[in-house]
Amino acid sequence: MAATPGAEARTAKRTLVASPAGWLVWGAVIFFMVNLLGVVGSVLVNSVGTRWFDTWLPQGVTAQWYSEAWQEFGLLQVVIVTLEVSLAVVALSILVGVPASYVLARRDFPGKRIMYLTFLLPIMMPPITYGIPLATVLYKFGLAGNISGVILANLVPSVPFVILTMTPFIEQIDPSIERAARMSGARLLSVFTRILAPLLIPGILASAILVLVRTVGMFELTFLTAGADSQTLVVALFSSMNAAGIRAQQSVDAMAVMYTGMMLVLLVVALRSVNPTQLVARIKEEPEP
């Protein structure tokens, strides 16, 4: 039975008029976005302003604060340390996490669920809860206060992150592929490097990008274990804001803009490489000819 024009008009009117709860939700979202844009915009404008006091906009525009922040805070060394720590954490997390994920995906043993839950605890718990005892142990054995301590501390949540991503990914690969290779005389190492590794590349890349973003943005563990020469960009930003002495707020804001820009680049790369609604890539079977 066809709908009458009057019924269609009433349906369209109902779709255009939102409920009070809907307007309340949209109002809260708009209020949050306006405040967020105001905070971010004020930092961005202040980082390029000459003098900003009791006016809507700065009296002038300049880029000198970026060069001063680069020189005053030694950002070249900070960026180098950030890249060294992040790449080292990514590499070690993949080297440790992928074999551990393979064992959890292919082997059944007593206490498997408990072990899997143990791996997930550093992700579920706030870093500060285990960061202080971890930093105490690292300082006791002389492993903190340098880059190695920062790397070791960041491995604690990063390796479980790789395991969480890679274990379901490996479970989706047909074990008959490995059995066929073993029956053909291939050893376990050859099966893992020559057969499984090409199939695992999408999952490894997804895990690496996510660990990279997490490591660059990790503050608590890095702050507790870093020394004067091993601070990443987020820790250097916090230290510059709380250090003794008088410095222009514009230079600190310029440093914050640099850090935000780096994080945005990493997030864009991550979102282009990883589906946020499905972290685990699926192996698609090729159609038979």
Query: Would you identify the CATH topology of the domain 67-240+250-273?
Result: MetI-like fold (1.10.3720)
User: Which pLDDT tens digit goes with each residue over 249-266?
Assistant: 788 888 888 888 888 887
Confidence of residue 90 (pLDDT cuts 50, 70, 90): very high
Q: Is the pLDDT of residue 63 over 90?
A: no
Mean pLDDT of 34-52: 83
Q: Is the pLDDT of residue 21 over 70?
A: yes
Confidence of residue 3 (pLDDT cuts 50, 70, 90): low
- Residue in 151, 168, 239 with CA at minimum distance from that of residue 203: 168
Domain ranges (residues) in the chain = 67-240+250-273
Confidence of residue 6 (pLDDT cuts 50, 70, 90): low
Decide: 10 and 22 in contact? Cβ < 8 Å: no
Helices within the chain (DSSP H only):
5-16, 20-47, 64-72, 75-106, 112-124, 127-140, 147-171, 175-183, 188-190, 197-217, 220-225, 233-242, 249-273
User: Which pLDDT tens digit goes with each residue over 175-207?
Assistant: 888 788 888 877 877 877 788 888 888 888 888
Which pLDDT belongs to residue 178? 79
Q: Is the pLDDT of residue 1 over 90?
A: no
- Percentage of the chain surpassing pLDDT 90? 17
What pTM does this model have?
0.75
User: Which pLDDT tens digit goes with each residue over 116-168?
Assistant: 888 888 888 889 999 999 999 999 988 888 999 999 999 999 999 899 888 88
Mean pLDDT of 1-18: 52
